[in-house]
Structure 1
Amino acid sequence: MKTESQHIELKSSFNDEVIITLVAFANAEGGTVYVGVDDNGLAISNFKIGKESVQQWTNEIKNKTIPAIIPDVTVEEINGVQVLVFAIQEFPIKPVAFKGRYYKRVKNANYQMNLQEISDLHLKTFNSSWDYYPSPHYGLGSIDLDKVNRFIESSNENRETQIQDDPLTVLRKFEMLKENGQIANACHLLFSKNEVFDATISIGRFSTETSIKDSVVLRTDLFTEVEETLAFVRKHISKNYIITGDPKREERWEYPLEALREIVVNMIVHRDYQNAGDSIIKIFDHKIEFYNPGGLGNGITFDELRAGTYTSYARNRKIADLFREVGIIEKYGSGIKRITNAFVNYGLTAPTFEAFQNGFRVTVYTNGTDINDGGVSVGVSVGVNVGVNVGVNELFILIEKNPGINVLEMKDHFDVTQRTIERWVKQLKDNHKIEFKGAPKTGGYWIV
């Protein structure tokens, strides 16, 4: 029995919806449309294939799509009834349109693409990205060549073969400076001598959701933004010293700094710079929110992002290349996993990744841990809290794998008292990570 999926669509008859689905498949990974089949995957007994039907419908598909697509058409028998099968491969030149509208396939449904998605898919087809193209507003006179020299110095620290060229030659070799003297969009974002309003990041330290204690607005080049953003974040999170017995005290920040750096770098490298909105970072007592305008791009869903089943794609390939050149990023595609593992290994709740107000938000948490200043008691406190938070995280994973599990069942998985389990459950509930469903005696806990 056939069922609809990312690559299969069922239609009872031939109509425009069949062509829309073929267009969506052509703009994605290809797929198959079964015509003469109901939603349950059963052949429709009164569906008939006329002598001219196949040729007529194939021509209709060709005439209503740009670039014209011609699917493979075969006849298949289901439960003794003949149905038509239209198969289309991923089209090499994208996006394909139906009557001037563009569609993409997401799971088992077709969605009309917006202008940004159309542009991104077109650039991807030609193995390019927006930041590679000439800037329509800025020229070479807006570029700070001293910044280019600093880029060369940083790059040489990571290279076996040293860059010996002058700044303008380097810009040309990295495709930042075009043959006609125009600069690429990436060149403006990375080396501008003036404020870069396209790259605005607003950062605030909040005591409540509406009360702000400190703030800064950054409009620098992207290299500088990474360091200034992290400096402001470090200024407003706690640092702890743990007495270990060694002459030198061990530092422990409220959050794993390398993971925060990874978030900030991803935020800057993968931002949609054609979107007029600002990137926003909000620092609260027990969490930090990182927001970027624009969606994920490349048709990636949040489920795929969380599961790590997506194909890596750099929205701004030239920016990513230059960040990698100076060692700020090492490789594409493993950032989300590294960030999550860093927080879990630090004894904290895994970050959340979500769609938010036409953009993308990452939220990291301290799990309510209070970190004070200095002293032996601080080391003891942090050690205890880390152990608790590891248990909380393991409990969260257990509930995620066993939805509906109750406290008594949880206890079988841990060598701790029931009271400890109940305390962990309360912490997860207070953080809105889990919820109780069902009757008090027979219900259990589920991930929110």
Structure 2
Amino acid sequence: MKPDSDDIKSLIGQGEGYNLEFKESFSNSIAREICAFANASGGKLLLGVSDEGEIKGITTSNAMMSRIYDVARNSDPPLKVEISRKGDILVVDVFEGTDKPYSVNGKFYVRDGTNSQQLKRDEIRRFFQEEGLISFDEKLNYDFDLEKDFDGVVFGAFLEMTRTSPVLEKHDILKNLGLLKDDYLKNAGVLLFCKKITAFLLNATITCVLFQGRDKYKILDRKEFEGDLYSNYQDAFTYLQSKLNTEYIIKGGPREEKLELPESALREAILNAIAHRNYFLNANIQVYIFSDRVEITNPGGLPLGMSYSDLGRKSMPRNFLLFGMMQRMGLVEKVGTGILRMNHAMEEYRLEKPVMEADENWFTIIFKRPELERESFEGRGKTTPQKTTQKTTQKILGLIKENPDITRRELASTIGISEDGIKYHLTNLKNMGSLERIGPDKGGYWRIVGDDE
């Protein structure tokens, strides 16, 4: 119900609060306030009132009112507002959202007392938990047109992969899968069945880059894949396959071709990035190929409630609906064995296990590439990677014990491996709890855990 003049005076007398905001003039910040109210329990914006509650009045125009309605329509998802004029004041009534959380320009806002605050990543996670809200893959995508944007060929392939009978109508199948609601496709369905993902989700691409050497100084080749989920997965793997070396093994019969890194481990890492990435973050999956390693990185660290020690033991999907569809397609499993399968594949290849790195915003899997001229598959069988790793680790710990201030460059020079190789072993030691860094990279020192000498 729209407020009358007496209600407005009463509101102004109460002062700004959780459900009330004063604005002396119109500005772009109104989008933040509208979003915050929708994520809370609704509220009112009074335009033409100073922070102190003094009525200044405001000159309205059709253009101004159109901009306010545009904010509501263009929020993600769209939200509901009503605008009314009360004397010299413009009242914007924002309704509590029924499809939280809402964002404007990719940012989330909530009310914090009398202020509207932007949520940080961890706060968004808590917001989801506390409100019992749906995840990204469950959100309805109002921009996707089921007739013109839906890829029927990709959908047909999906039905074959999942052994789903095509007898039912498309809408009924999608509803039964939990991908369609109120005739709108959810984001999980958009990822799976779009013709071009960047038309709806700019950050859902996969970028593959081939660098010269061991750093990012010079790019030799770059591709970005922006199709449906399965096509992007296959294209990213094909790119990796085309840029990595192939070894030919002859054992008295037809020669055997072996990619320098196990295909199953690379596929698993790409799928892990697709299934577990945080789609709310404005970044995409990155596959980087260096001369000595392959890095596969996805936005979003470990899911809330999961620690580094849980890797390989627990499965905690960030995107439950999407993960379920990928499981139906036979791409992933629910038992949390993906990392174990990667480790096993690398061991069968007689290579070191991949290194996992995680921080607040990123998760990276690093595969160390073998030097085939010196480390052929047959040659690696004579010296196990575990023994080589143990020897290198012992050297590193010995040098750190002698000089806790030693740098990565000094370690690399003394041991005779690259700085990236040193970083690889240091990360492993830190993850195992055997080593910790005290202080910053420059000016800090190493401490061997449990070494009291």
Q: Aligned to 2:247, which of 229, 232, 240?
A: 240
Matches within 5 A, 1:42-441: 114-122=122-130, 125=132, 129-141=135-147, 142-156=149-163, 162=165, 164-178=167-181, 180-196=182-198, 197-208=202-213, 209=215, 210-245=217-252, 247-301=253-307, 303-306=308-311, 308-309=312-313, 311-355=314-358, 358-366=361-369, 368-371=370-373, 381-393=376-388, 395=390, 399=394, 431-432=421-422, 433-434=424-425
Looking at structure 2, the residues matched to 388 and 428 of structure 1 have their Cα atoms a distance apart, in angstroms, of 20
Q: Kindly state the Cα deviation for residue 427 of structure 1 after the two structures are TM-superposed.
A: 5.2
Given that 1:121 and 1:298 are in contact with CA atoms closer than 8 Å, whether structure 2 keeps it comes out as: no
Label 1:396 to 1:223 Cα distance change in 2 as closer, same or farther (>3 A).
Answer: farther
Looking at structure 1, the residues matched to 287 and 420 of structure 2 have their Cα atoms a distance apart, in angstroms, of 23
What secondary structure sits across from 1:202 in the alignment?
strand
Q: Kindly state the Cα deviation for residue 262 of structure 1 after the two structures are TM-superposed.
A: 0.3
The answer for the alignment partner of 2:52 in structure 1 is none
Q: Kindly state the Cα deviation for residue 387 of structure 1 after the two structures are TM-superposed.
A: 3.1
Given that 2:343 and 2:354 are in contact with CA atoms closer than 8 Å, whether structure 1 keeps it comes out as: yes
Given that 1:155 and 1:325 are in contact with CA atoms closer than 8 Å, whether structure 2 keeps it comes out as: yes
Aligned residue identity for 1:395: Q
What secondary structure sits across from 1:199 in the alignment?
coil
What secondary structure sits across from 1:172 in the alignment?
helix
Label 1:163 to 1:130 Cα distance change in 2 as closer, same or farther (>3 A).
Answer: same
Q: Kindly state the Cα deviation for residue 257 of structure 1 after the two structures are TM-superposed.
A: 0.6
Looking at structure 1, the residues matched to 166 and 366 of structure 2 have their Cα atoms a distance apart, in angstroms, of 39
Looking at structure 2, the residues matched to 233 and 352 of structure 1 have their Cα atoms a distance apart, in angstroms, of 18
Looking at structure 1, the residues matched to 192 and 204 of structure 2 have their Cα atoms a distance apart, in angstroms, of 10
Looking at structure 2, the residues matched to 285 and 203 of structure 1 have their Cα atoms a distance apart, in angstroms, of 14
The answer for the alignment partner of 2:73 in structure 1 is none
Label 1:364 to 1:192 Cα distance change in 2 as closer, same or farther (>3 A).
Answer: same
Q: Kindly state the Cα deviation for residue 300 of structure 1 after the two structures are TM-superposed.
A: 1.8
Aligned residue identity for 1:349: E
Aligned residue identity for 2:421: N
- Superposed CA offset, 1:111-142 (max 9, x none): x973331244247x57x532122124334242
| Structure 1 unmatched runs, 5+ | 1-96, 101-111, 373-379, 407-424, 438-444
Label 1:234 to 1:183 Cα distance change in 2 as closer, same or farther (>3 A).
Answer: same
What secondary structure sits across from 2:367 in the alignment?
strand
What secondary structure sits across from 1:215 in the alignment?
strand
Q: Kindly state the Cα deviation for residue 264 of structure 1 after the two structures are TM-superposed.
A: 0.3
Q: Kindly state the Cα deviation for residue 272 of structure 1 after the two structures are TM-superposed.
A: 0.9
Q: Kindly state the Cα deviation for residue 225 of structure 1 after the two structures are TM-superposed.
A: 0.8
Query: Alignment length, in residue pairs?
Result: 301
What secondary structure sits across from 1:369 in the alignment?
coil
What secondary structure sits across from 1:193 in the alignment?
coil
Of all paired residues, the percent bearing the same amino acid is 25
Given that 2:188 and 2:322 are in contact with CA atoms closer than 8 Å, whether structure 1 keeps it comes out as: yes
Label 1:187 to 1:403 Cα distance change in 2 as closer, same or farther (>3 A).
Answer: same
- Superposed CA offset, 1:1-21 (max 9, x none): xxxxxxxxxxxxxxxxxxxxx
Aligned residue identity for 1:385: R
Looking at structure 2, the residues matched to 259 and 220 of structure 1 have their Cα atoms a distance apart, in angstroms, of 23
Q: Kindly state the Cα deviation for residue 382 of structure 1 after the two structures are TM-superposed.
A: 2.9
Aligned residue identity for 1:431: G
What secondary structure sits across from 1:300 in the alignment?
coil
Q: Superposition RMSD on alpha carbons, in Å?
A: 3.9
Looking at structure 2, the residues matched to 148 and 391 of structure 1 have their Cα atoms a distance apart, in angstroms, of 45
Q: Kindly state the Cα deviation for residue 331 of structure 1 after the two structures are TM-superposed.
A: 2.8
* Bigger shift: residues 197-206 or 330-339: 330-339
Aligned residue identity for 1:152: L
Looking at structure 1, the residues matched to 390 and 238 of structure 2 have their Cα atoms a distance apart, in angstroms, of 34
Aligned residue identity for 1:202: T
Looking at structure 2, the residues matched to 165 and 363 of structure 1 have their Cα atoms a distance apart, in angstroms, of 44
What secondary structure sits across from 2:156 in the alignment?
helix
Looking at structure 1, the residues matched to 255 and 127 of structure 2 have their Cα atoms a distance apart, in angstroms, of 53
Looking at structure 2, the residues matched to 222 and 364 of structure 1 have their Cα atoms a distance apart, in angstroms, of 23
Given that 2:315 and 2:334 are in contact with CA atoms closer than 8 Å, whether structure 1 keeps it comes out as: no
List 4+ stretches of structure 1 deviating above 4 A.
396-400, 402-406, 425-430, 433-437
Label 1:163 to 1:230 Cα distance change in 2 as closer, same or farther (>3 A).
Answer: same
What secondary structure sits across from 2:208 in the alignment?
strand
- Superposed CA offset, 1:97-118 (max 9, x none): 9x88xxxxxxxxxxx9733312
Q: Kindly state the Cα deviation for residue 233 of structure 1 after the two structures are TM-superposed.
A: 0.3
Label 1:434 to 1:257 Cα distance change in 2 as closer, same or farther (>3 A).
Answer: closer
Looking at structure 2, the residues matched to 121 and 268 of structure 1 have their Cα atoms a distance apart, in angstroms, of 22
With normalisation by structure 2, the TM-score equals: 0.58
